[in-house]
Structure 1
Amino acid sequence: MVSNDKSCVLAPPTVPISEPTEVHSALCAVCKRAIASSEENGFIPHHQSGFDLEIAADRGCYICGTIRLSETWRSELSLCRSGTFESYFSLRSPKHDSIRDGLLVGTPARGYCWTFQLWKEPDPSCIVQPYVPAGSIDDPALAELASAWLKTCCDTHEDCQILDPAYRPTRLIHILDTNHLRLVLTAAEPSSSGPYVAFSHCWGKVDAMKLLCGNLAQLCAKLDLQQLPNTYQEAVHLCLQMGFHYIWIDSLCIIQDCDEDWAREAKDMKLVYEHAAFNLCSATASDSTGKSFTARDPKLLRLESITIQGENFQLVHENLFNEDIIYCPLRSRAWVYQEWYLSKRSLILGSHQLWWHCRQQLACEIRPTGVPKVPGGGWWEEARTLKEATAPTHSDDLNEWNGRVEGYTRTNLTRETDRLVAFSGIVQSFGQSRGIIHEYMAGLWRCHLPAALCWRPMTHAQRSAVYSGPSWSWTSLAGGFHIHTYSNLLRESCYASVERISPFCNKGMGGFSVGGVMNISGYLFEINYVYGADNSTNGSFSVAEDPHLGVQLFLDEHAEDDEIMSHLSEPDLGDFDHWVRNEAVRKVIHPKDARGRFFFLLLLDRGDVPYFRFRFRGLVLYQPLEQQTFYRVGYMNWKRLPQGMSPDQLSAQYSRRTIFLL
């Protein structure tokens, strides 16, 4: 029976007590004085140098020890050691009483700071047995804790249940014993029916063993564990300790030198991760030779408790979640962004500790019963967005989708041609959970248009030399780029409407249409490109009928530090599919060299709000000479409408036009 209990602290894991080691930590006199201060004291002196802080850490101070093990300290060691420290203590609880601001320790001259929030201690009745932090990754206590989290999830989390427990990927690695493995074809071997774990890791540039056409038979016979790199060995050992004998590893379960096999398996990636018992993540290692728990100190995995005004609190380093998860090397991989999102349960080997992340809980060794699920508990708020779940009834789907696009475009790919297929599982999951799967079109959803056209690159980007998507979508861009979107667009007044989208018939590798022609109706204003006073200055656009109208311009494409734009050769709209596949040629030019016409297509009105510097949103479009087709080349904001016109006067003074946007 699955419980519907959504309370802050879920059923705690029952963890056997290991033989305890000395894990007592305390606070140095400097940190005790800092916590005893009040907000009225403001910032007070802390350690006078980083060397003093390190001495306090060596003597067992929990706060100083945690600072020394932080990513900031380890990456900026010389600057941190030479800094002078100050601290500030606050009992404010901006969002929820169970979490207080706590202690801030920083180096004003260097700009580094460490925040220790105050979390109310869990209800003692929820803690069946205390968890003693494991000394190493091989300690059985880690597997016991992970198994307890998994059992709690299986027994009580409705949103985390596997829909088809019988599903198996095409291939799995069978863990025979502590030293031997073999590759199995699941359709040919009914015995490979046990649950499996899906492994996520960073490949890096290491030439590790992989499945090839030439060694398929060899791997199906037997494989020695010692032949595999360290991250694989860590994963296999942990799986065995937890009682799992099957694991899916991409490099060993997809034939890496067979394009057909890769394409077939890539389409099923969503199923592989959705149906795994859990996703095991090697989060810290930047390549397969790396190790987990590189910043681990068991003494610091027992939270320091303090009593303030009769209430018991735990000191929690606020940035631990970011260091171990959000900014870990693993999450910089585009494929992993999808894997993490699709997996209902993830077990994460971080730099400091072991984490559990499922659709209903985030837990870790310092908080094995789960982190607070409250507005002020930033860990859970951020963790919730990393996994797909049933769409909240109050959510803005466009905001949710834009968040996924922004996060995904920050990731890296070894092969840029994987950009869309590595996102296809997220498309499927998001669309199915919201009942809009048939409305997907080249990175956007039909029900979000035209508001969803308001995006802009945050980094230099160029459109693909070959057609990869329509100009109105971010999928037309190639290479590494970051996309910025805007919040609450669907609440703004809209002046355009999408009449029709004629999709490109050929589907992409993920099974979705990669582009098409948009018929959009709205108000078009002719604009002129004005080049800078000298060749080193980028240009802008002026409105033909109101040259002094204030604008904010974001061109879509840049080559190094220079502005560029591009469009395709004249399309054959009668046989668009054939033209895209065989005849489309991209032409790249500088805006000052354009011989066609530029237009501003008005999309949205933010409203007459004083603190908005720019009120109106729209697209910069380009119509090449002798073409009926328009192309997006940028995004632009206006302070006002031309000649001081009000929105109510638009329909009287201008006629709407319907154009083809390719």
Structure 2
Amino acid sequence: MPPKKSLRRAVVRPRRTICKICHNLDPRDHASSVYLTERTEGPLASLSLVIDAFELSKLRLPKEGGCRFCNVLCQALDAFFGGWRGSRQRVNIEILEKGTIEIGLDQEAWRSEVVSIYTTKPSRSWPTLGVARRIPLNSGSDDTFDFARRCIQDCLTNTKHKACSLPRKSSASTPKRLLDVGRATAPIRLIDTQGKALEYAALSHCWGTGSPLKTTKSNWRKLSYDISFDSLPPLFQDAVIITRQMGLRYIWIDSLCIIQDSARDWETESFKMGSIYENALFTIAATASPDGASRALNDREKPVKLNFENMAGDEVDIRARRAEDHHPRNKEEPANLVGPLTTRAWALQEHVLSTRILHYSKTELLFECRTSFRCECSPSRKSQPTTPALIPTAMAKSNKQPEAVWDAWHRVVEQYSRRTLTHLNDKLPAISGIACKIQKATSSRYIAGLWEANLVLDLLWSTTSTADAHYFSPDKYRAPSFSWASLDVPVAFASSDQEERHFVVSTIILVASSLSVTGLNPLGALSDASIRVRGPIMHATLLSTQREGLWEYVLLLKGTSAITIQNDCLLVEDVIGVSSSRTAQYIRRAQCGDVPKAFKAPVICLCVARHDTWISGLVLGLVRQTLNCWNRLGTFAAESDVLQRAKEDEVQIT
């Protein structure tokens, strides 16, 4: 009798299908997959997808035959972006193998917010999905304070953090006043440091529309005796708690450590603000707080559990939490911080000049120093370019690459010009701390936001926005027209490619400059300023035309085609009295209330720099008050034989 055959029961597995919409949220084997081959543990795939929100919201549920992975996206969007269904907008998805899945929406209200999808433990059912680290549900938790202490201690003791070594203390860099927060049982009081070198923290915060607790001439004596903890705004209370938890006794808070109704005290101490933040042991940045009534230590939004089953019907632990897209986008970029504080002009130099910063964001605590970046979701130390490292790194390179400092300044100004000020006259004072550092490093003369040693490239800034609300010249003077500080609009500088710089030839000479400073800050507010330069000048006609609701301006020069200019703001035509019986047309920057109209009027072109056969320069209009003075209207760049033949002359720009 033949032996019995061993019979095995065939297991029929459901066939794995790939969703044409979400690709099963798998970064591998897609036409757009990118493989990171530089990693030592092997190549990892990444994938960027864009899905239409309206189409995604119409898809069937898994039990009705729909995609399980698309359903995960819908659950995460429902949990954190209420009202997304039925809208015509893009869902942006970033997938990294063994990492989290980040999803966001294009709508303005949610543009800076991201939802991370992750797992709590590795799963064979979703092998490409990464495990995310737990983040405490309160920013005042013991775990978060422990993280902050480790970051600061590691920076202080790590021999690789040479750039983070604080400069030698001096009475000139010591704050005049500090808050002594003592112990929880001791009174808080305002003290005069008398030039002593004390270890302290500093607070970087938004004042908001309200008025925080302030020191004035009438109350400073009372505040130097006792400040009730309960009388402090909630944000200041949190700053005191953080200072104590970090083992410090003193903190500097601008509204309390500067006498706010003393112009002399404000000008003296605000000029020292750069060194105050630099010399602080660390800065507490209330990044997510819009004002003093908001807390830095608060509850965070809880993660949500998403329903997901594998092919066998077993549940897999998949979660989603709100995040902010703070991680550096590449190896050359610093952390991308989000919050009200990142929109304020004064806060930029506090960020740039601080040595160490604790950023209290909405979702987690981030740490930056001049050497590394860390966050609670990724606490390992990363040797990453940081914002506090920007100026020190540029200065370290300046011996071999002098342009590094000017490139750093341009980057700072570009960011600064996108931020807002409560008092517009603070435009130059609020960046004077950084300017002071640049001046000490280069010994160059500072001319209303520009530098004499880099005048050519500094003059060729251009505006990058046409937003109606910011497309007028301010009514009140605060800077000369040749300075970016004369406008409230984002600006940009020409490319700083090192090789290209060698081909840029200056065509101007600075003959003289004049600055009238108001107050005690030599790099601060101005009442008047001008420069006199010598260079190739050509007379031209400026023509304005309106196209699709926007005004465009072109230069008309004999013997060449029309040249479109980059105007600084809206321009209007006016008349100027040449004599008692004769007037002449001239063009000026429009102010709020002016109604732009089509015009054709004379201007002059100052050729500032030459790059091969290209000429870049300024378009200047005659000033009403003085016939020999001109105001900047915009910039031009053109390849023209006519411009090459421009004749040299001197011109004064105000």
Task: Tell me the TM-score normalised to structure 1 length.
Answer: 0.70
Partner of 1:289: 293
Question: Deviation at 1:335?
Answer: 1.1
User: Helix, strand or coil: the match of 1:221?
Assistant: coil
Among 30, 52, 59, the alignment partner of 1:39 is: 30
- 1:439 paired with 2:439, answer no
Partner of 1:521: 534
- 1:176 paired with 2:178, answer no
Question: What letter matches 2:409 in structure 1?
Answer: W
Partner of 1:12: none
Question: Deviation at 1:171?
Answer: 1.0
Partners of 1:569 and 1:272 lie apart in 2 by 51
Question: What letter matches 1:225 in structure 2?
Answer: F
Among 233, 239, 244, the alignment partner of 1:229 is: 233
Contact 2:608 2:616 (C-alpha < 8 Å) held by counterparts = yes
Contact 2:480 2:529 (C-alpha < 8 Å) held by counterparts = yes
Cα pair distance change 1:636/1:37, threshold 3 Å: same
Query: Which structure 1 segments of 5+ residues have no match?
Result: 1-28, 92-98, 119-129, 301-314, 374-379, 571-584, 609-614
- 1:209 paired with 2:213, answer yes
- 1:249 paired with 2:253, answer yes
RCO greater where, 1 or 2, for CA within 8 Å and sep 6 or more?
1
Among 528, 550, 564, the alignment partner of 1:552 is: 564
Question: Deviation at 1:523?
Answer: 2.0
Among 459, 484, 490, the alignment partner of 1:474 is: 484
Question: Deviation at 1:336?
Answer: 0.8
Partners of 1:620 and 1:538 lie apart in 2 by 16
Question: Deviation at 1:141?
Answer: 2.2
Contact 1:359 1:389 (C-alpha < 8 Å) held by counterparts = no
Greater share of helix residues, 1 or 2? 1
Partner of 2:355: 344
User: Helix, strand or coil: the match of 2:558?
Assistant: coil
Partners of 2:152 and 2:414 lie apart in 1 by 31
Partners of 2:60 and 2:252 lie apart in 1 by 44
- 1:195 paired with 2:199, answer yes
Matches within 5 A, 1:411-422: 411-422=419-430
Range with greater deviation from structure 2 (515-524 or 404-413): 515-524
- 1:239 paired with 2:243, answer yes
Among 298, 317, 320, the alignment partner of 2:326 is: 320
- 1:371 paired with 2:347, answer no
Cα pair distance change 1:370/1:66, threshold 3 Å: farther
Partner of 1:309: none
User: Helix, strand or coil: the match of 1:523?
Assistant: strand
Cα pair distance change 1:205/1:627, threshold 3 Å: closer
Matches within 5 A, 1:533-548: 538=551, 540-546=553-559
Partners of 2:368 and 2:51 lie apart in 1 by 38
Matches within 5 A, 1:20-59: 33-35=24-26, 37-40=28-31
Partners of 1:476 and 1:233 lie apart in 2 by 38
Partners of 1:238 and 1:81 lie apart in 2 by 44
1:446-501 deviations in whole A, cap 9, x for unaligned?
11122321112335344455543332212333xx3222222137445335222322
User: Helix, strand or coil: the match of 1:619?
Assistant: strand
Question: Deviation at 1:274?
Answer: 1.3
1:217-276 deviations in whole A, cap 9, x for unaligned?
221121121221221122111111111111111111112222222122111111211110
Cα pair distance change 1:231/1:534, threshold 3 Å: closer
Cα pair distance change 1:104/1:134, threshold 3 Å: closer
Cα pair distance change 1:296/1:223, threshold 3 Å: same
**Percent of aligned pairs with the same amino acid:** 21
- 1:629 paired with 2:639, answer no
Question: What letter matches 2:235 in structure 1?
Answer: T
Partners of 2:612 and 2:99 lie apart in 1 by 35
Cα pair distance change 1:147/1:387, threshold 3 Å: farther
**How many aligned residue pairs are there?**
553
Partners of 1:597 and 1:554 lie apart in 2 by 17
Task: Tell me the TM-score normalised to structure 2 length.
Answer: 0.71
Contact 1:464 1:476 (C-alpha < 8 Å) held by counterparts = yes
Partner of 1:78: 83
| Aligned residues: CA RMSD | 4.9
Query: Which structure 2 segments of 5+ residues have no match?
Result: 1-18, 34-48, 63-67, 119-131, 305-319, 330-334, 579-587
Matches within 5 A, 1:494-533: 494=505, 496-504=507-515, 506=517, 509-512=520-523, 514=526, 516-532=529-545
User: Helix, strand or coil: the match of 2:349?
Assistant: helix
- 1:354 paired with 2:360, answer no
Partner of 2:275: 271
Range with greater deviation from structure 2 (496-505 or 287-296): 287-296
Contact 2:461 2:492 (C-alpha < 8 Å) held by counterparts = yes
User: Helix, strand or coil: the match of 1:264?
Assistant: helix
User: Helix, strand or coil: the match of 1:524?
Assistant: strand
User: Helix, strand or coil: the match of 2:572?
Assistant: strand
Cα pair distance change 1:620/1:590, threshold 3 Å: farther
1:295-318 deviations in whole A, cap 9, x for unaligned?
835769xxxxxxxxxxxxxx9978
Computing the radius of gyration from Cα coordinates, the structure with the larger value is 2
Cα pair distance change 1:320/1:412, threshold 3 Å: same
1:518-552 deviations in whole A, cap 9, x for unaligned?
23222222111334489977463442413x61312
Contact 1:34 1:46 (C-alpha < 8 Å) held by counterparts = no
Question: What letter matches 1:470 in structure 2?
Answer: P
